[in-house]
């Protein structure tokens, strides 16, 4: 996707964050810390790696599971450059019953994010609406929809053990 489309997707989320107040104060910004083994990264939308060229706070590697580039972040980042998946965390875009893209709490976030306990209703509704708008915009591009489909499928696998 080109830069203009990616910036449009970012704009759909705007300046909203999971809560009206700084939720990073609750957890020490846990979602921006590396795994215990120092690994981990954020999968990048098609075209997003190009927007990160030259950053000094991370590097782009390969996310094999997503078959996509991935940002390995040594943050703090330049906030206006943070990737899409950072902007929507702790949400995961998924297809709803009618087939439209919507969002739910990402099962992978449970290990780090204290907001997961209260579910979607505990989040700022403007943030949730912005994430849904962004996911639908992203899905208008075939490569964007393919990215969302892979991301949602991996999340669904992770969620399975919690369904029993």
Other beta carbons less than 10 A from residue 60's beta carbon? 17
* Cβ-based nearer residue to ligand SF4, 26 or 66: 26
Minimum gap (Å) between residue 142 Cβ and ligand SF4 = 26
Asked if 46 interacts with ligand SF4 (CB under 6 A), we say no
Asked if 47 interacts with ligand SF4 (CB under 6 A), we say no
Binding range to ligand SF4, per CB under 6 A, among 4-12, 26-34, 93-101, 138-146: 26-34
How does DSSP assign the chain, residue by residue? --HHHHHHHHHHHTT--SSSS-THHHHTSGGGSPPTTS---EE--TTHHHHTTT-SSEEEEEETTTTEEEEEE-SS--GGG--HHHHHTTEEEEE-TTS-EEEEE-GGGGGT-GGGGG-GGGS-HHHHHHHHHHHHHHHTSHHHHHHHHHHHHHHHHHHGGGG-
Asked if 75 interacts with ligand SF4 (CB under 6 A), we say yes
Binding range to ligand SF4, per CB under 6 A, among 23-31, 62-70, 117-125, 145-153: 23-31
Among 49, 51, 112, 146, binds ligand SF4 (CB under 6 A): 112
Among 46, 90, 130, 144, binds ligand SF4 (CB under 6 A): 90
Footprint on this chain of ligand SF4 (rule: CB under 6 A): 18, 23-24, 26-27, 29-32, 42, 73, 75-77, 82, 86, 89-90, 112-115
């Amino acid at each position: 996707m080109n830069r203009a489309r990616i910036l449009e997707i970012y704009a759909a989320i705007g300046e909203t964050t999971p809560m009206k107040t700084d939720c990073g104060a609750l957890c020490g910004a846990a979602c921006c810390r590396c795994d215990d083994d120092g690994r981990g990264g954020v999968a990048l939308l098609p075209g997003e790696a190009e927007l990160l060229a030259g950053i000094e706070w991370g590097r782009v590697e390969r996310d094999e599971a997503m078959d996509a580039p991935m940002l390995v972040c040594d943050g703090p980042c330049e906030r206006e450059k943070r990737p899409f998946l950072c902007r929507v965390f702790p949400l995961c875009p998924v297809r709803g019953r009618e087939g439209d893209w919507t969002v739910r709490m990402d099962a992978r976030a449970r290990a780090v994010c204290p907001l997961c306990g209260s579910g979607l209703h505990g989040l700022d509704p403007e943030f949730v609406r912005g994430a849904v708008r962004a996911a639908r915009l992203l899905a208008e591009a075939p490569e964007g929809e393919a990215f969302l489909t892979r991301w949602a499928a991996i999340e669904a696998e992770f969620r399975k053990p919690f369904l029993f």
